[in-house]
């Protein structure tokens, strides 16, 4: 074990030439980031998770009720033992051949069976009230952490001149505000890792799990080798659009359509400006070129910049998807609610419906008059059914 630890914490990988871990030990004159500081994130992540549960129950839920957001979920599928067995044991999306077989077995028309499976799938999805509470929690946290980041960074020299991220590196003391900012962000991502198993289930669970892992790795990596100054710039920049996205979701759930459209437009502008403009021209410029000039490259420097370039590639992809969904919404005369922090459809708002498949009375021999699915009327219906997604 000692040999493994010695290999993992090899100074020639983590630190610039002629710098050792002994040089970065805390003294009476200065405090530096220590790897063991990061253990604090685990109990804090649990505390954040508990605060979230309290917030959603005693703050978000009353707000949702005040906005007339109901806890009622989608229409319940009528009980049917045969269809339920197929749904739970075989498939939730029967193909045409199976539908025809079930139609003959039950003496139902195919459309009624399709309707039953659609209602049964929707039955497992969360209510609008649950989605609103989750979005309000995330909105509140993102707004707080972004506001704190801006207030902290405006007092620092590296916000105004990024070369200060590298002057006297790695002998840059760790301030209390910087330590709090880093541990808070890391704790929040750990809390997302925990809560993802109990949150609203999404089809992009694996992608989001990987996203959270990469975020945790980047925060931990930059803290351990004391790249925390430039790390704060990355964190604050990427937090800037998140609150707007969650606010747009809340407006959508409350059926404030014009506000939702405006907030989504603001979110798209901020997201694209910060991720495709400011991030590469400001942050990547300092991590790639200014740091090379002042400090010079070393192994962990290459890894850190490679990860940031990977993040930039994802930013380009997500920005493309935002523009695509926005153009589609404009062409239809409607504004689409879309979460760029996921890559697949967001189950939080995916209430399946179409103009060809209608929800109706319990299935019978003949199709019934078409009605709209819960929450999918008018423009707001498009927001619920036309959403794509991407967490922070």
What's residue 75's pLDDT?
75
pLDDT exceeds 90 at position 213:
no
Is pLDDT of 71 > 80? Answer: no
Q: How far apart are the first and last CA of the chain?
A: 35
* pTM of the model as a whole: 0.79
State which fold the 81-124 domain adopts.
Arc Repressor Mutant, subunit A (1.10.10)
Domain ranges of the chain: 29-65+127-334, 81-124
Q: For residue 356, what pLDDT band results from cuts at 50, 70 and 90?
A: very low
**Distance between CA atoms of residues 185 and 168, nearest Å:** 25
Write the pLDDT tens digit of every residue in 255-271: 998 999 899 999 999 99
Average pLDDT, the chain: 83
């Amino acid at each position: 074990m000692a040999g493994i630890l010695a290999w993992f914490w090899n100074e020639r990988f983590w630190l610039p030439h002629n710098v050792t871990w002994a040089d970065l030990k805390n003294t009476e004159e200065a405090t530096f980031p220590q790897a063991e500081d990061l253990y604090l994130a685990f109990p804090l992540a649990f505390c954040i998770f508990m605060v979230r549960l309290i917030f959603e129950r005693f703050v978000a839920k009353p707000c949702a009720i005040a906005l007339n957001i109901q806890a009622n979920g989608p229409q319940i599928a009528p009980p049917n033992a045969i269809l339920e067995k197929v749904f739970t044991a075989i498939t939730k999306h029967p193909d045409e051949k199976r539908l025809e077989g079930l139609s003959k077995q039950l003496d139902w028309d195919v459309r009624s069976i399709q309707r039953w499976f659609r209602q049964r799938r929707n039955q497992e999805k969360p209510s609008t009230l649950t989605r609103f509470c989750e979005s309000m929690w995330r909105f509140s946290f993102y707004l707080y952490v972004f506001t704190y980041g801006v207030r902290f960074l405006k007092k620092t020299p590296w916000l105004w001149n990024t070369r200060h991220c590298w002057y006297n590196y790695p002998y840059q003391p760790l301030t209390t505000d910087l330590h709090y900012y880093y541990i808070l962000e890391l704790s929040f991502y750990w809390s997302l890792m925990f809560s993802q198993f109990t949150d609203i289930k999404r089809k992009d669970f694996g992608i989001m799990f990987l996203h959270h892992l990469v975020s945790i790795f980047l925060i931990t990596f930059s803290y351990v080798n004391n790249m925390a100054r430039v790390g704060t710039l990355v964190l604050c920049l990427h937090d800037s659009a998140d609150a707007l996205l969650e606010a747009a979701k809340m407006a959508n759930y409350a059926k404030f359509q014009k506000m939702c459209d405006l907030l989504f437009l603001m979110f798209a502008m901020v997201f694209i400006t910060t991720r495709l403009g400011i991030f590469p021209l400001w942050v990547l410029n300092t991590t790639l070129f200014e740091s090379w000039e002042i400090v010079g490259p070393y192994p962990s420097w290459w890894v850190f910049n490679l990860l940031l370039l990977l993040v930039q590639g994802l930013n380009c992809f997500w920005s493309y998807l935002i523009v695509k969904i926005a153009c589609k919404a404009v062409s239809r005369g409607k504004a689409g609610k879309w979460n760029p922090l996921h890559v697949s459809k967001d189950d939080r708002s995916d209430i399946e419906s179409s103009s060809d498949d209608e929800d109706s009375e319990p299935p019978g021999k003949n199709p019934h008059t078409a009605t709209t699915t819960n929450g999918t009327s008018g423009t707001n219906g498009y927001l619920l059914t036309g959403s794509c997604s991407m967490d922070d």
